[in-house]
Amino acid sequence: MDRKETTINARLSDLFFTFLKLGAFTIGGGYAMIPLIEKELIDKRAWFDREEFLELLALAQSAPGIIAMNIAVSVGYRAKGKAGMLMASLGAVLPSFLIILLIAAVFTSFRDNPVVERIFKGIRPAVVALIAAPLFRLAKSAHITLKTMFIPIGTAILVGFLGVSPIWIILSGGLGGILWFLIAKRKQS
C-alpha cells in the first residue's frame, strides 16, 4: 500500500461510544449522520483528515448496504482493524435496535386503538409525499439528463406498476453501466 497511513489514537471503547452516540441522536439514517460524524471524528477527535473521510464516505455511499453501517465499518476498520469495525457497527445499530424493539412490542397492541388509528390515517399520505418530494432534487444531483431520463422513469414503471423486483433493475443498471463504458472506450480507440 502506497497510501499514507494516519496513525489513529483511538480506543475500542471510544469507537463504540462515538457510534452509539451517532446512532442514538441522528434521525433519518446515513445522510443525517454525516455532519455529526464530521464534527465528532474530524474536528473533535482528529481521527481522520477531511480528505480521507470524504473518500471513505464516497465509497460507503456507492457500495451496497446500509449507508450508516458502511460508514461505521469503514471508519472502525481504518481506526482499529477488525475489532474496531465490529465495535463501531455494534454501536451504530444498538440504539435503533432497542428503540424499535420496544415500539414493535408496544405498537402491535396499540395499532387498533381508535386514536392511534386516526393519527396514522393522517400520517400515511404525508409519508408518501415525503418520499416523492425530493425526487427532482435527487435526479439533478445524480446528473440525470433528458437522454438518461428513461432510466429512472423506466425503473419506476417496472417496479411500481408492473411489480418487477428491484434486484433485476439494479443488476441491469450495473450491466448497462459496464456496457456504456465499453462502447465509450471503443469509440475512443
Per-residue CA distances from 171 to 64, 144, 174 (Å): 12, 19, 5
46 or 142, CB closer to another protein? 142
Nearest distance, CB of residue 79 and another protein, angstroms: 11
Of the residues 4, 104, 109, 187, which one makes contact with another protein according to CB under 8 A? 104
Q: Is 108 in the site for another protein (CB under 8 A)?
A: yes
14 or 86, CB closer to another protein? 86
Cβ(23)–Cβ(94) under 8 Å? yes
Of the residues 31, 49, 50, 113, which one makes contact with another protein according to CB under 8 A? 31
Q: Is 181 in the site for another protein (CB under 8 A)?
A: yes
Per-residue CA distances from 57 to 71, 84, 119, 146 (Å): 7, 17, 37, 29
Map residues 63-92 to x or -, x wherever contact with another protein holds by CB under 8 A.
Answer: xxxxxxxx--xx--xx---x--x---x--x
Q: Is 146 in the site for another protein (CB under 8 A)?
A: no
Q: Is 154 in the site for another protein (CB under 8 A)?
A: yes
Nearest distance, CB of residue 181 and another protein, angstroms: 4
Q: Is 138 in the site for another protein (CB under 8 A)?
A: yes
46 or 153, CB closer to another protein? 153
The DSSP result for 139-161, as a single string, is HHHTT--TTTTHHHHHHHHHHHT
Angle at 172 between CA 169 and CA 176, to 5 degrees: 135
38 or 155, CB closer to another protein? 155
- Collect all residues with Cβ–Cβ distance below 8 Å to 71 and sequence separation of at least 6: 30, 33, 34, 37, 56, 57, 60, 92
CB atoms < 10 A from the CB of 174, how many? 10
Nearest distance, CB of residue 49 and another protein, angstroms: 15
